[in-house]
Structure formats: structure tokens, C-alpha cells
Amino acid sequence: MSTGGDFDLGSKNSRKTSRGEASTLTRIGIDTGGTFTDFIVAQAGKLFAFKLPSTPHNPASAILEGAAPATGRQLSVGAKHRGEQLDGRARQVAADHTPAEIVHGTTVATNALLERKGARTALVTTEGFEDVIEIGRQARPRLYDFMVTRTPPLVPAELRFGARERTLPDGSILTPLDESQLQDLVRQVTRQKPESIAVCLLFSFANPEHELRIAIALGELGVPISLSHKILPEYREYERTSTTVINAYLVPLMSRYLRSLIDGLENSLGGRVGQGSGAKSRRPLLRVMQSNGGSVSAEAAAAEPVRAILSGPAGGVVGALRVAAAAGIRDIITFDMGGTSTDVALCRGEARTTNEATVAGVPVAVPIVDIHTVGAGGGSIARVDMAGALRVGPESAGADPGPVCYGRGELITVTDANLVLGRFGAPSLLGGEMPLDLERARQYMSGLAAEMERFSAKRVPAERAALGVISVANANMEKALRAVSVERGQDPRLFTLVSFGGAGGLHAAELAAALRIPRIMIPRSPGTLSALGVLLGDVVKDYSRTIMMKSVDLDVRLIERQFKTLELDAKHDLAEEGFRGAASKLVRSVAVRYIGQSFEIDVPWERGFASRFHEAHRQRYGYSDPNRPTEIVSVRVKAIGLTEKPPIARSNKKSRIRPKPAFTAGVYFAGRKLPTSVYERDTLEPGARIAGPAIVIEYSSTTLIPPERKAEVDLGWNILID
């Protein structure tokens, strides 16, 4: 089988753990995208990377097929290599080391929310607050758009119910729960036949007694129940209600998906489950990446799927930060362009998380890596609208039928445009496993060009139409990059653009030029970096509680008691995940704001936390006022289970041998066809220098180096373009 991604992570010493013992833990990272499902198998300092077409009708199908390499079983990857096994070394590793852990980045929760295909959900809230989820807030996304259409709530009016009770902000009971009305409420909910229930009572985070009693009463229905004091024990009624409802909306679907995936994996692995390194108890076979950049057991993810809405993109940010740090690069803008969408994030040494995210038009208040997503990818569909304008995306051809050049699709995509322009440098993808039909792509591109000619006085050749598709797609992605940098007061000239994803390398140079980003980094195996990031992430769980305390009335003892309560839960949950002692870590923080502000900023809980807040406020908003009174809104604990991480390879010296191109291809740049050197990435050693125009091809991605640009391979085998 053509692996294309079988590579060393480091030197001979890299096969040892931090304790100096040889690592025997086999771990698999899986990232499911709209077009491809990516796999990384890590064992004994080696990585084995490959991709399979995604199966949108049942995402588990591609995962179960791809899990075979870890067991040495046969794997089908295209007709050409169907039935071939791993090479002898990988097969021996598989025989000696049963996979101990599989970490999965999934889009199941995201797609269900975007497509509104979740469960029929009922909402039980404090009487009089049934419509909070629909009223929302007065903020409008487009202030002067009087024709704006509001996103309908996930729970319609007939499924919203009020319980006669009232808890005060300090946790005292103003109105006891009306038991007779509660029985009537249970009958009303039963008649609506919900598939899931969300319970969100006013100030239940201060006293959950009523939520617990309602959950017991509704338990006879036999459907999942999401309680707000467990999902998000913080104030802000609208955001808390929305987050709890989203969780309930996704629980049945996510539970079924993960249950079927676990069953399939256990059958594939013969029911064997390995041990995590240093763990005294059995760790879960399957973990799921969360939106906060850490993973949890599949059981925990099934219970709280709201925390996995941006599962895959978060893995990409984790991977980009790790490889950039290994190269001595701190401040980066991540650029993850896949087949369906592009995800970008700005990171100053670490991934920034937010509790103010909006996904599919609804607020999600659990911690999420601050990622901006735009519907532009290799599979984005190009068309001419009724006014004659060329549009690209957000609709995608996905994995089925896929771009025209894959042989089944009939709608032109960005991938087809790159192929027509000669920018792949080769007539196939995935190391030859996926042939590309150039003539078919050119034929359909000519059809798009004919549509463009209807609104133009000039003839439009297929190549010009393809350049137009690339320009529009780049404009969409440039807008996303500006949203996380310039629009937030950050100068992109001070950052490195870390480009990955299957299509990122073809567009990174033009986008960097548009934003004047001085340097581009293309990691090794960029098409599977998100899967590597999923594997590199620690197990992370977030805990919080609203306290509302003015800084002038600071009660350190009370805050310490709150932290200790949260940490008891955190330690218990980490132990359930298999992490104890030195393998676990707890991080305290407080959410602080100026009195009168609506939102807060997380800062570490330590001496001088107020000064840290003023500095963080200045960096984020451009100003601060140390004389203005502040308040602590919430206390938060991040529980981290430290996973074993494969080391990142570094060479000790640079080669002086000038790389030789494998062949020369004709590639279109700005309307001109130029002879372009094509290099195979496996032949490029640290120190290799390449002058554009050039193309670097590899198993998982293709990198385009435009004219007048230069690239060099660093000591970590990353390509740096400046």
C-alpha cells in the first residue's frame, strides 16, 4: 500500500517516554472531514498517515475501514491497492501492540446542528421564562437590515414548558416547587413524545435542588435529560438555556453514533482494549476531541455533545501550535483548508478559547477554541448567479459526488479549477491512489466559462474561468483571515501563517501576500495535521461556577472553597478517565470584567490577577483602566489529563545538496503559463532551497510556490515560504 505519510517523528532517543522507558502505547488519531477522513497511527516514535474518502451517510464506515492498519488487518484504499496490507515493520508493530487508544475528531454534532437534524427536544424552565430561548438578546447581527430573518429556536413553542418554582441568586428558595403542577407538567411533556429533554431553571447553578427533582419526575419517560447546572453552571439565562438545549438536541444522535462506532471498533479489534501509559486502571478505547482542544471518553462526549461542536477544527489548532513551537515559532495564524470549509485561528503562543461562540445562529457558552469558519474548501461549488457574478461556496460537492475531476460530480469546484490550471503538478492525489480526470474538469470548466461569457463582452477561456474561481475562493478565505486578525486589532505582519489541510498549500502564498504575512509554514503531512492534533491533545475537562464578587469585597477564603469544590469533581472525573497523580493537572482561573460590562475575560487565579486582567483587556480591546472597579464573575477550573505525545522530529544539520525536481509542468499564474519545477517532498532534506515557480507534491497535500517566492526546508522538515 502506498502510505505517503510513513515518517519518523524523531531520532532514536525519541522512542523513549519522559521517564526514559520505551513507549509501547499505540494510539490512533482520526479526523472526519466533509471530503476525507484522516488517520494517524503513532507507535514507537513512528507515524503512519493515510486518508480515506469520508462516508457522509454513515461517518463510522470510513473510520471502521481505516482502523484496520492498527491491527495489521487488510485495508481497502482505492481499487488499485485494495486488499494490500501494511509493510512488514508496521505489521509487526501492530501484532506486538494492540491499539490502546483511538482519539476521534468528529463533525457529527456540527452537521446535525447546521442541518437541524437533531432530536425532538422539550424544554422545561421556570414558569414565565419559556420564551427566553426565542426572545434572545436585542443584539442583531446586521444592525440596519430590517428584512433580517431570525434563526428559529431549536425548541418550538409547543415543546416549551414552565415549572412553578423560583430560586434566588444566592441559592435560597423563594417559591418551592409545586408538586401537583409538576405531575401535570410531566403529563404534558409525555403527550408531546420528546426524544430528549432540557431542564434549565432560573439560578439553578446556585441551588440545583429543583432541577434534580424535575429530572427524577421526568425520568419515567426514559429519554435523555440535560440539566443546566451540570452543562453550564453560570449566569446569563439565554446563553445557559441555549447551551443546555443544544446539548439535549444532540444527545440521542451522538449517543447512537458513538455506540455504533464503539461496537464496530470492538469487533474489529477482537474486543481487546489496551492500557494507557502510567494508568493503573483501564482507559477508554475511544476518546472524542472537544471544542476546547482536549479530548474526553466517548461516554462523556455522548452525554455532553455540545462540547464537541468544533471537534475537528480544534484538533488542527492544537497540531499547528505543537509543530510551530517545535520550530521555535510562537505567534501564528492557522489556516486549515479542507474539502468543505476553511478554519482559521489567531494564536499568541497558545490557543485562545471563548465562551461567546455562535454556531449555526445559536449561542454556545461552553469553552471553545476561538476559530472562524468559512464555507470555502476544495469542494466548494462555483456558479454564475442571475446577475452574472461568479460565486464560490458555501455549498460543497463533499465526498459524494465530489469535484468533477473525481469522476462523478457535475458541478465545478475549486479543486477542478486548480487542476485545470495545472497546480497539482500530477494527474492524481494520495500518492496515485486517486486519479484526476483533467479532460472532464476542463470540459465542465468550459461550460462555466460559457456562462460567464453571457455577461461579458470578451471571450472567456477555461483557464480564465478557473483563475476567477480561485480569486473568488481566495477572497472568501482572506475575509476570514482578516476577521481573526485585522478586525481584532492584530497586525498579521507579526505572525506566521501555518497552512495545512489537503488544499491549504495551494492557496496559502496568495493569501499571505494579500495580508502581507511575511512567512508561511507548511508542516510535514499537512493534509493529516488535524488528525495529528487530535492525537496530541490532552484530556481536558472544564468546570465553572458563577459567584459575582466585586474586587473591593474580595473574599479569598470563599473563592478558595469554591475552587476546592470544583477540584473535587475534577479529580474524580480525571480518575474515571484513567489519570491520577503526576498524570493529572488542575489550572485555576477567574472570569473578570469591569463593573457594568456584559462579558468577562479569563485570567489565572494568582497574586496580581487584577493586573493580568487589565493587560489582557488592553491586548484584546486596545485600552484598559486600572482605576476602574472590577468584579469576579465566575471561578473556573481546567482539569488536564496528560497524554503521551509523540515527539516532533528535528534534524541536527542541514544538507548542502541542491534538490532536483522530479519533472517540469506547465502552470498558470495570473493568466500566464509558466514552466514550473515539481518536487517530491520525500526527497527534500533540511536545508533544501527552492525558488518559485515550483510545486511540492506529497501524499496528503500539494504546495504551490508562486514566481518570485522562495522556500526552504527547516530542521523539522517544515517548508518555510517567505
Which positions ≥6 away from 563 have C-beta within 8 Å? 588, 605, 635, 637
What gap in Å lies between CA 200 and CA 231, rounded to an integer?
Answer: 10
Q: In sequence order, what DSSP letters do the residues of 16-59 get, joined into one string?
A: B-TTSPBP---EEEEEE-SSEEEEEEEETTEEEEEEEE--TT-H
Which positions ≥6 away from 279 have C-beta within 8 Å? 578, 579, 580, 583
Asked if the structure places residue 589 within a domain, the reply is yes
Hunting for cell 503521551 — which residue is that?
A: 644
- Asked whether the beta carbons of 101 and 287 are under 8 A apart, the reply is yes
Q: What is the pLDDT of residue 68?
A: 63
What gap in Å lies between CA 705 and CA 716, rounded to an integer?
Answer: 19
> Measuring CA to CA, how many Å separate 138 from each of 22, 202, 580?
58, 20, 46
Q: What angle do CA 316, 511, 705 make, to 5 degrees?
A: 90
Asked if the structure places residue 309 within a domain, the reply is no
Strand order in the sheet with 225-227: 160-163, 121-126, 196-200, 225-227
What gap in Å lies between CA 376 and CA 391, rounded to an integer?
Answer: 11
559 in helix, strand or coil? Answer: helix
Burial class (CB in 10 A: 0-12, 13-18, 19+), 432: middle
What gap in Å lies between CA 570 and CA 564, rounded to an integer?
Answer: 10
What gap in Å lies between CA 205 and CA 288, rounded to an integer?
Answer: 27
Structure letter (DSSP) for residue 293: S
- Asked whether the beta carbons of 118 and 154 are under 8 A apart, the reply is yes
My answer on whether omega of the bond before 661 falls inside 30° of 0, hence cis, is no
- Asked whether the beta carbons of 527 and 699 are under 8 A apart, the reply is yes
Of 620, 641, 662, the domain-final residue: 641
Q: What is the pLDDT of residue 145?
A: 80
Q: What is the CATH number of the domain that holds 577?
A: 3.30.1490
**Which of 367, 108, 54 is CA-nearest to residue 251?**
108
Q: Which three cell numbers mark 709? A: 517566492
- Asked whether the beta carbons of 711 and 692 are under 8 A apart, the reply is yes
**Which of 164, 160, 155 is CA-nearest to residue 188?**
160
Q: What is the pLDDT of residue 2?
A: 37
150 residue type, one letter = R
Q: Taking phi first (over 0 means left), then psi (-120 to 50 degrees means alpha), and beta for anything else, what does residue 690 get?
A: beta
What gap in Å lies between CA 586 and CA 538, rounded to an integer?
Answer: 12
Of 233, 252, 271, the domain-final residue: 252
Instruction: Give the domain extent around 235.
Output: 112-252
What gap in Å lies between CA 275 and CA 98, rounded to an integer?
Answer: 10
Hunting for cell 501524499 — which residue is that?
A: 699
State the total domains in the chain. Answer: 2
Asked if the structure places residue 694 within a domain, the reply is no
Q: Do the strands 342-348 and 372-374 form a parallel or antiparallel pair, or are they unpaired?
A: antiparallel
Asked if the structure places residue 30 within a domain, the reply is no
Hunting for cell 477550573 — which residue is that?
A: 637
Of 593, 626, 641, the domain-final residue: 641
Q: What is the pLDDT of residue 24?
A: 53
- Asked whether the beta carbons of 30 and 103 are under 8 A apart, the reply is yes
> Measuring CA to CA, how many Å separate 582 from each of 23, 340, 641, 712?
18, 40, 9, 40
Q: What is the pLDDT of residue 199?
A: 98
Q: What is the pLDDT of residue 96?
A: 46
Low-confidence residues in the chain, pLDDT < 50: 1-4, 9-23, 70-97, 272-281
Provide the H-helix boundaries in 347-497. Answer: 414-420, 438-453, 462-484
Q: What are the beta bridge partners of residue 638?
A: 542, 587
Asked if the structure places residue 393 within a domain, the reply is no
CB hemisphere CA count around 492 (13 angstroms): 27
- Asked whether the beta carbons of 50 and 125 are under 8 A apart, the reply is no
Q: In sequence order, what DSSP letters do the residues of 448-469 get, joined into one string?
A: HHHHHHTT-SS---HHHHHHHH
Burial class (CB in 10 A: 0-12, 13-18, 19+), 220: exposed
- Per-residue pLDDT tens for 558-575? 999 999 999 999 999 999
Q: What is the pLDDT of residue 90?
A: 39
Asked if the structure places residue 630 within a domain, the reply is yes
Q: What is the pLDDT of residue 89?
A: 36
- Asked whether the beta carbons of 119 and 192 are under 8 A apart, the reply is no
Structure letter (DSSP) for residue 137: -
Backbone angles phi, psi at 647, to 5 degrees: -70, 155
Helix, strand and coil in the chain, % to nearest 5: 35, 25, 40
Hunting for cell 428559529 — which residue is that?
A: 152
Q: Do the strands 353-354 and 368-369 form a parallel or antiparallel pair, or are they unpaired?
A: antiparallel
**Which of 374, 346, 370, 344 is CA-nearest to residue 357?**
370
Which positions ≥6 away from 145 have C-beta within 8 Å? none
Backbone angles phi, psi at 341, to 5 degrees: -145, 170
Asked if the structure places residue 722 within a domain, the reply is no
**Which of 576, 569, 575, 620 is CA-nearest to residue 597?**
620
Asked if the structure places residue 511 within a domain, the reply is no
CB hemisphere CA count around 461 (13 angstroms): 8
